[in-house]
Amino acid sequence: MSTSIQFASKRAAKRATQNMEMFRGVKLYQQLENPVFLAAATIVELFRSGTFALNGGHLATLVLQQRLAQAMEAGQDLVFELGWGQAKRDAGRLKTPGSQADLAELIALGRLATIVSAARLIANRPVSLRIISGGARFYEALFVDPDRDQTYNCQRASFIELLGAGSAIYLDTINHYWTQEEIKVRLVQALGSDTLIVPTEEEVHFVLFNIDWYHILSNKIAPHGLLAPPELISIYEESDEWQRSLLLRYLFYRLARPEAAAQTVLRGLDARVLERSLAWMEMVARQSAQKYKLLGQLTPRAHRNAEESPCPVPVTVVEKKAQPDIPALCLLGHRAGAGLPQHVTPFINDKGVLEFWPYMLIERSCHPVRMPVLKSGSGEIIRTSTQPLLMSALERDPTIKALMRIDMFDGL
Average pLDDT score over residue span 223-243: 95
What is the C-alpha to C-alpha distance for residues 227 and 277, in angstroms, rounded to an integer? 10
- In this predicted model, what pLDDT tens digit does every residue of 29-59 receive, in sequence order? 999 999 999 999 999 999 998 789 999 989 9
Q: Residue 289 CB: number of other CB atoms within 10 A?
A: 25
Angstrom distance (rounded) from CA 55 to CA 48? 8
Would 27 be classed as within a structural domain?
yes
The answer to whether residue 185 sits within a structural domain is no
List C-alpha distances in Å: 36 to 28, 39, 42, 68, 116. Answer: 16, 5, 10, 9, 17
**Number of other CB atoms surrounding residue 27 within 10 Å:** 8
Same domain, 365 and 307: yes
Instruction: State the chain's mean pLDDT as an integer.
Output: 89
Q: Given 265, 296, 327, which residue is the final one in a domain? A: 296
CA distance 211 to 95: 13
Residues 244 and 135 placed together within one structural domain of the fold: no
Final residue in a domain of this structure, among 274, 296, 318: 296
- Residue at 161 is within a domain: yes
Helical residues (DSSP H) of 357-395, grouped into ranges:
359-362
**319/391 same-domain check:** yes
The per-residue pLDDT for range 134-192, each reduced to its tens digit, is: 999 999 999 999 999 999 999 999 899 989 888 899 999 999 899 999 999 999 999 98
Q: What size, in residues, is the chain?
A: 412
Residues 147 and 238 in one domain: no
User: Taking 70 as the threshold, does the pLDDT of residue 264 lie above it?
Assistant: no
pLDDT of residue 304: 52
Could you give the C-alpha distances from 53 to 59, 99, 231, 242, 371, in angstroms and in order?
A: 9, 26, 47, 38, 29
Co-location of 53 and 132 in the same domain: yes
Report if residue 35 sits inside a domain. yes
d(Cα 387, Cα 57) in Å, to the nearest integer? Answer: 38
**Residue 355: φ, ψ to 5°:** -130, 170
**Coil, helix or strand at residue 22:** helix
Encode pLDDT of 102-144 as tens digits: 999 999 999 999 999 999 999 999 999 999 999 999 999 999 9
- Verify that 148 and 291 share a domain, yes or no: no
- What's the one-letter identity of residue 391? M
Region 327-333: mean pLDDT is 94
Q: Kindly state whether residue 147 falls inside one of the protein's structural domains.
A: yes
Q: What pLDDT is recorded for position 204?
A: 95
Look up the domain containing 236 and give its range.
198-296
Indicate whether 49 and 161 sit together in one domain.
Answer: yes
Q: Helix, strand, coil: what percent of the chain each, to 5?
A: 50, 10, 40
- Residue 48 and residue 26 in one domain: yes
pLDDT of residue 271 exceeding 90, the answer is no
Burial status of residue 139 (CB atoms within 10 A of its CB: 0-12, 13-18, 19 or more): buried
The verdict on residue 65 lying in a domain is: yes
- 139 & 287 share domain: no
Q: Which of 253, 275, 296 is the last residue of a domain?
A: 296
Q: Give 15: exposed, middle or buried? Use CB within 10 Å, 0-12, 13-18, 19+.
A: middle
Long-range contacts, 64-70 (Cβ 8 Å, 24+): 64/325, 64/326, 64/327, 65/29, 65/30, 65/37, 65/40, 65/41, 66/30, 66/40, 67/313, 67/325, 68/39, 68/40, 68/43, 68/44, 68/313, 69/31, 69/34, 69/36, 69/37, 69/39, 69/40
Residues 310 and 279 in one domain: no
**Whole-number Å distance between alpha carbons of 164 and 168:** 9
User: Is the pLDDT at 314 greater than 60, yes or no?
Assistant: yes
- Asked whether residue 188 is domain-assigned, the answer is no
Q: What is the pLDDT of residue 262?
A: 58
The terminus-to-terminus CA distance of the chain in angstroms comes to 15
pTM above 0.85, yes or no: yes
Same domain, 325 and 369: yes
Residue 191: inside a domain, yes or no? no
Tell me what pLDDT residue 219 has: 97
268 plus 309 within the same structural domain? no
DSSP string, 47-116: HHTSSSBTTGGG--HHHHHHHHHHHHHTTPPEEEEEE---S---TTTTS-SSSS--HHHHHHHHHHHHHH
Which pLDDT does position 269 carry in this prediction? 78
Domain tally, the chain: 2
